[in-house]
Amino acid sequence: MESIEAVTTKSLKRKSLGLILLILVQAFAAVFFLSDTFADIWETRALHLNFHSGIELAAALSLALSVAVEIRFLLVMLRRQESMERGLSIASGALHDLMDSYFRQWGLTPSEQDVATFAIKGASIAEIAALRGCAEGTVKAHLNAIYRKSGAAGRGELVSLLIEDLMSQPLVSEPASENAQSPAE
């Protein structure tokens, strides 16, 4: 089962690569048309542009400008992707810490913690059994114990507990006041 983060990253990389290829093709075309236009002007040795050369020059300059705009767009998109990946990494770490905290609070066994983690990630009972190398009945028994210990009525409520807590906490944690030393110490 591929994670959402991996799918999103692959999709963005594919789009970035496509945009880079488009920019390269357009840059080649712009250089070709500009050099062709200047060669035409040089051959005629005219100090002024005729209608055809003027249109050709305007089109080539427009193409060169569009390449510059696309490069700017690509850089903005790559910075945004980096920022989103950084935020996702922070949120993922916060979710992991929150899950560990709840698992300890509920008194889950290591096997129940594995099953709960897979269930929260959206794996089916059959997938969890295959991943853990156990029977589906064992997974169902672990899920029942997890729901009983957590007080959740099912998988949706279990996920809801974590998401609600995660959304109510800031992404960047501040230093705990108990770790800070007072000036008197």
Q: Per-residue pLDDT for 173 more than 70? A: no
pLDDT digits 0-9 by tens, 33-69: 888 888 877 877 766 677 877 888 888 899 999 999 9
Q: 120 pLDDT exceeds 70? A: yes
Closest by CA position to 159, among listed 115, 99, 88: 99
Q: What is the pLDDT of residues 86-101, one digit of tens each?
A: 877 777 777 788 889 9
**Alpha helices (H) along the chain:** 4-44, 51-106, 110-120, 125-132, 136-150, 155-168
pLDDT at 3: 57
- Cβ pair 117, 102 in contact under 8 A: no
Lowest mean pLDDT among 14-23, 61-70, 162-171: 162-171
Class of domain 107-168: mainly alpha
> Does the predicted TM-score (pTM) go above 0.75?
no
Kindly give the interhelix angle for 110-120 and 155-168, rounded to the nearest 10 degrees: 80
Domain ranges in the chain?
Answer: 4-88, 107-168
Q: What is the pLDDT of residue 5?
A: 57
- Give the pLDDT of residue 128: 95
